[in-house]
Amino acid sequence: MSIVLGINYGHDGSVCIVRNGKLEIAIATERITRRKKDFSITDEVIHYVLNELNLSICDIDYVATNDLEQSIFGNQVLEKELNILGRKIPCIVIPHHLAHCASAYYTSPFEKSYCLSVDVCSQINKIANSLVTYGEGNKLNALYCPQAMCGAMYGTVTESLGLGPMLHKAGTTMGLASYGEVFDFDFNSYTDDIKDKMNIAATAQHILEQELLAVVNDMDDATENLCLSGGTLLNCNANSKIATQSKFSNFHHFPACGDDGTSVGAVLYVSHHILNEPRHLYCPKDLAYLGKSYQVQEPDYKLIAEELSKGKIIGWFQGKSEF
């Protein structure tokens, strides 16, 4: 039995802990520092997950993380040592897209499943932009990179439209697309008119959906199960098309399928694929609400009823936050 600390050091930094094969806690750095999509991993974030489980750094057996530069190496891992909170701990580094796939597969209810990861990475410096893997039991094996460039395309369009950085604003393109029409676009006739921008967004959305469907439907028929992850698969309209128009019947997403979820993927891959810890069956709330809990007083239900009767909107939360 082991306790493994998972860390994502890139954008959307995050930390998590898996104990004896079960994901018990996860937190994105931004939830602690209050800086959106924070890159950093601070001692405060690591202390938070340890304290929540009544652990110390001395209880950690391994650290797991991921690296973009390893994306071309399939299942090959790198072993090194990390100094965390003054203690040197064995660290296993797995490929970035394998971590994405692992976050979805090992939290799924499937005993067998294909897994697809797509994000905005380019082929610059041989960094893969996508990966197809196959999971069976505790093992998750990389198969091939399908060269799905649609995530990079979508990010480029987002920035070209002046909506903001691709990592922050791709969702805005998705929203804008719903107002436009798909068309054969001539950039020589492009104006800065909002209608043009809507149509470009709609066309980019259509291309994204069609390429993802082609990648998914190109997989063989070994299983009817499909797990999806990677920042591009945060696109809910594309996910809907895959669910309704692909050949697969059963689907699973890990809620944090962006890079914040790679800490979870790395730690679950180490725990199950490498250390052969038993897998666990999770219900949705176990995966969605891994974040902080807050102390709140009992609501004044009479006041709430009165305000609702006046047409007011009431905000109410309970339990833990999304991580």
Threshold 0.75, pTM exceeds: yes
More confident residue, 51 or 147: 51
Scored b (16 or more CB within 10 A) or e, 154-180 reads: bbebbeebebeebbebbeebbebbeeb
SS3 136: strand
- Least Cα distance to 21 among 269, 228, 259, 227 occurs for 269
Structural domain that includes position 258: 3-110+252-288
Q: Which pLDDT tens digit goes with each residue over 269-300?
A: 999 999 999 999 999 989 989 998 888 888 89
Domain total in the chain:
2
Q: What tokens were used for 251?
A: 């689907």
> 43 and 92 share a domain?
yes
- CA 314 to chain centroid, in Å, comes to 30
- CA 86 to chain centroid, in Å, comes to 30
Asked, for residue 227, whether it belongs to a domain, the answer is no
Asked, for residue 122, whether it belongs to a domain, the answer is no
Taking the C-alpha atoms of residue 118 and residue 107, their distance in angstroms, rounded to an integer, is 18
Q: What is the CATH number of the domain that holds 9?
A: 3.30.420.40
> 100 and 162 share a domain?
no
Amino acid 187: pLDDT: 57
Most confidently predicted of 32-36, 59-63, 158-162, 289-293: 59-63
Q: Which pLDDT tens digit goes with each residue over 165-190?
A: 888 899 999 999 999 999 886 656 66
Cross-strand bridge partners of residue 6: 16, 64
Query: Which residues, in sequence order, are CB contacts of 127 under 8 Å at separation 6+?
Result: 68, 69, 71, 72, 121
Question: Average of pLDDT values for 114-140?
Answer: 84
CB atoms within 10 A of CB 24: 17
Question: Average of pLDDT values for 73-98?
Answer: 94
Asked, for residue 119, whether it belongs to a domain, the answer is no
Question: Average of pLDDT values for 16-43?
Answer: 92
Statement: residue 71 has pLDDT above 70: no
91 close to 63: Cβ distance less than 8 angstroms:
yes
Question: Average of pLDDT values for 72-88?
Answer: 90
130 close to 136: Cβ distance less than 8 angstroms:
no
Amino acid 294: pLDDT: 82
